[in-house]
Amino acid sequence: MGDKKSSMTEQGGVDETARIERVEAVITKPTSETAVSEHGKEGKSDRHEKAKELSEVVEKIKALEERIEFHKGSFIRKILDFGKIDKLREELGILKHKKGFLEENMRREAELTAAHEEIIVEEREYEGELGKIESAEEEAARLEKEDNEARSVKNSAKKYNTFFVHDIVDADWKPSENNKAVDTRQLSFSDQLDIVAGLRPTISASSLRPDTADWTFTPGSFGAFISRGKILGGEYGDMGSIALGLKKRLIPKGRETIKSIDGAINRQIPKLEVVTDRDGSKKKKESYYNELIIENPEVAGVYLKWYFKDLPSGESKKNEEGLPIEEPENEVSLQNEFNEWGNLKASYDLIWNKLKLVADRKIPLFVLTLDNHARQIYDIDFQKRSFRVSAEWDPSAMSYEEGIGEWRREEAIKRQIKKVSHLLSDAEKKLYEASGDS
């Protein structure tokens, strides 16, 4: 009996020793070995490795707890293994702390991953919206460019083969009620010319196609050819626009469209027919006026509406740039006319005075005929009252003229500073300080 008990004791000791070895083998198994990826699995994510490490820590904790329970199994073993139990408890505390740290780390990583995925989704949505905005901006820019090109004086001159003109009216009937910015009745011919050429206000203008019944006002009057600017509105006839300021003009609703502008320029009217009046002068049997509003007009030259006599015929020779070649043999004389008793029949003094004012300002001069053809004036002799005329200018050639130049523009503004000071900003007033009247 004693042998049997001894054998059982020995057998129990063997089982317990085996159990201890098994538990210790698990506990002492290196974490780093399990953390290393297997050969050929180098692509596993860091997050997977951490999950694996956590699993190993949990396994170690479980093994330690079993070992502690084993050593607490009997009073004698507790006394003998007290130091070992204490060490195991310390190791257990470290492992539990590590477990908590890993769990918290993984929780944060999960939150960061979710937040990152959210950011990616938002970025894609933002990129999509940004793409829509960019596409809308590109489309808006394209439409604006098309609109500006369609409203360009230069482009329209070529497209419709037309001159753009602004009559300078200094007669008693001038339409001053259409200008709320300045009292035009107080402005002379030279005042108006300086203001248009210098300040480039938003103006009322017209289009004249060669060999058509397009026309403006009185023959023998003056006006300005416009080579640049933006067309803001157009009307087949008189629009009745009103100037509210230097750059602001009231345009009736519906007249600001490209369709209205094109309709005003390219209108269908009866063919041109020139008739001779009783006094021998010529005029258009029928004439048709249209109105166009032009912003920032550039004056290319000043014209005199010619109806006095036939001009010398000139060939339409042009240079390599397509501009008319001056023809010295085309001399024109415009003298006061007297009847057989020596009484003054027709005086052209006012015309010659205005020609002199324009010439003094170094602005190109032209004659505009009844059939809407333009010919430049040159070699002007104010004593003899004669000049020469060039071959005819095409509207497209006029559109290439770049205007009077910056220094002439500044001189024009300086001459009118007192009359238009209320239309200028403080900076402009200082820049264009008066240097004398014209």
The string of pLDDT tens digits covering residues 111-150 is 888 888 888 888 888 888 888 888 888 888 999 999 999 9
Tally of CA atoms within 13 A in the half-sphere of 283 that contains its CB: 14
CA distance linking residue 143 with residue 45, whole number of Å: 52
Per-residue pLDDT of the chain (438 residues; tens, 9 = 90+): 444 444 444 444 445 455 444 444 444 444 444 433 443 344 446 667 767 777 777 787 777 777 776 666 555 555 556 667 677 777 777 877 877 787 788 788 888 888 888 888 888 888 888 888 888 888 889 999 999 999 999 999 999 999 999 999 887 666 666 777 777 778 889 999 999 999 999 999 999 999 999 998 777 899 999 999 999 999 999 998 988 888 889 999 999 999 999 999 999 998 899 888 877 778 888 899 999 999 999 999 999 999 888 888 755 566 777 676 655 568 899 999 898 898 998 899 999 999 999 999 999 999 999 999 999 999 999 999 999 998 899 998 888 777 788 888 888 888 888 888 887 777 777 776 644 443
Start-to-end CA distance of the chain, whole Å, equals: 147
Q: How many CB atoms lie within 10 A of CB 330?
A: 19
Residue 249 near residue 300, CB atoms below 8 Å = no
Give the torsion through C-alpha atoms of 427, 401, 356, 342, to 10 deg: -150
Q: Kindly give the pairing relationship between strand 337-338 and strand 344-346.
A: antiparallel
Give pLDDT, residue 283. 84
Rounded Cα distance between 438 and 419, Å, is: 12
| Count of C-beta atoms within a 10 Å radius of residue 161 | 14
In terms of Cα–Cα distance, which of 251, 431, 199 is closest to 187? 199
The answer to whether residues 164 and 205 touch, using CB atoms and an 8 Å cutoff, is yes
Domain ranges of the chain: 2-36+44-124, 161-431
Q: Alpha carbon of 25 to those of 18, 37, 93: distances in Å?
A: 10, 21, 19
